[in-house]
Amino acid sequence: RFGQLIDTILSPEGHAELNRQFIAATNQKHSTVKFVDAPSQSRLNAVFEPLLPEGKLSPAHYQHILSAYNLADASPQEQAETLFCLSTAFARYSSSAIFGTENDSPTILRGYAEALMQKAYELSPAIFPSVDKLTDWSNRFHGLHNAFTCTSVVAGDMQRHARQHFPGVLSSILPLAWA
């Protein structure tokens, strides 16, 4: 099911190469393709920035996500759990395991993961361990308040939380190679 969001964001017609790279990465534990140089980050920014006005999911993009996952009539908690798991996956995309490196990661993918997480919290704060944990993850995505910014740590932490509290949603979204 994860590929549905990739096809929504990176249409095979308009962004064939990026679509292929994002889908290929879901079949590997580690990727040799990295998106940390300026041209790669510019390409990603051109795709993701319109989805994130003011750092939040645009209403239209949020509706596309709900449609892609048949969540239009789902409860806020179900929607939040799905967004949380999608956030976990994008945190992984930005990590050194996939499109980042040990010292750098695609900023827009971190921002997208954080926007998904914030929308999940807006819909259902109860699915989060605590507001402090939300703040911690958010600070790590943005490197604020001297937070350790390793997105593979954030992705792992979020993945453990989802596996413990909504494993069915996580397993329906997270690529098998990343589980």
Q: Which domains does the chain have, with CATH numbers?
A: 2-178 (1.10.4140.10)
Q: Which two tokens stand for residue 49?
A: 């920035």
Q: Residue 21's closest CA among 34, 8, 9, 39?
A: 34
First to last CA, the chain: 14
More confident position, 13 or 60: 60
Q: Residue 142's closest CA among 104, 107, 173?
A: 107
Average pLDDT on 32-59 reads 96
pTM: 0.95
Distance CA(46)–CA(24), nearest Å, equals: 21
Res 116 pLDDT > 60: yes
Radius of gyration of the chain (CA): 15
Active-site residue list: 150
Beta strands in 27-167 (DSSP E): none
